[in-house]
């Protein structure tokens, strides 16, 4: 059984650029949630996808968008990057409302 994987592990972008982060969910899981963890903070819920549909959203602007594919892998897209977007982005997969399993995260630095 493969766990949750995320790519890339690290990424450096400049302000105004766009970025796409990827997540492969654990086998059998149909739900993916994305979180942003700024330095010294806990993970903040961005949104969740269940069977390719957005199923909940936190307090993040529309320039944060996502996709879930038929194989339940997912992408997080962030447009018009700002310095404050620098953070660890975590993906978690689950079977519907069950226990969430987190990936190791993607560290995004915006210069």
User: Taking CB under 8 A as the rule, does residue 60 contact other proteins?
Assistant: no
Q: Rounded to the nearest whole angstrom, what is the least distance from the CB of residue 86 to other proteins in the complex?
A: 17
Residues 59, 27, 103, 80, CA torsion sign = negative
CA distances from 48 to 1, 25, 57 (A): 22, 13, 6
**Closest CA relative to residue 74, chosen from 10, 110, 26, 38:** 26
| Among 8, 18, 51, 56, contact with other proteins (rule: CB under 8 A) | 56
Beta carbon nearer to other proteins, 18 or 108: 108
Question: What is the Cα–Cα distance from 62 to 26, expressed in whole angstroms?
Answer: 27
Q: Rounded to the nearest whole angstrom, what is the least distance from the CB of residue 48 to other proteins in the complex?
A: 7
Q: Site mask, other proteins, residues 10-49, x = CB under 8 A?
A: -----------------------x-x----xxxxxx--x-
């Amino acid at each position: 059984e493969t766990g949750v994987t995320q790519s890339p592990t690290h990424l450096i972008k400049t302000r105004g650029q766009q970025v796409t982060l990827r997540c492969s969910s654990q086998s059998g899981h149909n739900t993916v949630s994305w979180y942003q963890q700024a330095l010294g903070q806990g993970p903040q819920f961005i949104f969740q996808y269940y069977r390719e549909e957005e199923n909940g959203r936190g307090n993040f602007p529309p320039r944060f968008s996502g996709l879930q594919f038929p194989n339940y892998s997912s992408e997080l897209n962030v447009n018009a990057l700002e310095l404050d977007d620098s953070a660890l982005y975590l993906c978690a997969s689950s079977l519907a409302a069950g226990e969430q399993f987190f990936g190791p995260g993607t560290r995004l630095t915006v210069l």
